[in-house]
Amino acid sequence: MRYNHLRAVSALAGLSILGGLALTGCSSAESTASAEEPAAAASSRDDYHATVRERTSGLDGHTVYHPADLSAFPDSSVPVLAWANGGCRTSNIAVTSFLSGVAAQGYIVIANGALDELPVDQLPDDTLARPDRLTDAIDWAADSDEAAEQLGHKADSDKIGVMGTSCGGVEALLAAADPRVKSVAGLNTASSPISDSGTSGTR
Rounded to an integer, the average pLDDT of 173-186 is 96
Name which residue leads in pLDDT, 181 or 196.
181
Residue closest to 76 by CA, chosen among 145, 148, 18, 164 = 148
Per-residue pLDDT band at 98 (split at 50, 70, 90): very high
Average confidence score pLDDT of the chain: 79
Q: How far is CA 85 from CA 90, 147, 197, in A?
A: 7, 22, 27
Question: Using one digit for the tens of pLDDT, what is the confidence trace for 135-153?
Answer: 999 999 999 999 999 999 9
Beta bridge partners of 83: 111, 163
Query: CA 23 to CA 102: how far, in whole Å?
Result: 8
Q: Which residues pair with 53 in a beta bridge?
A: 65
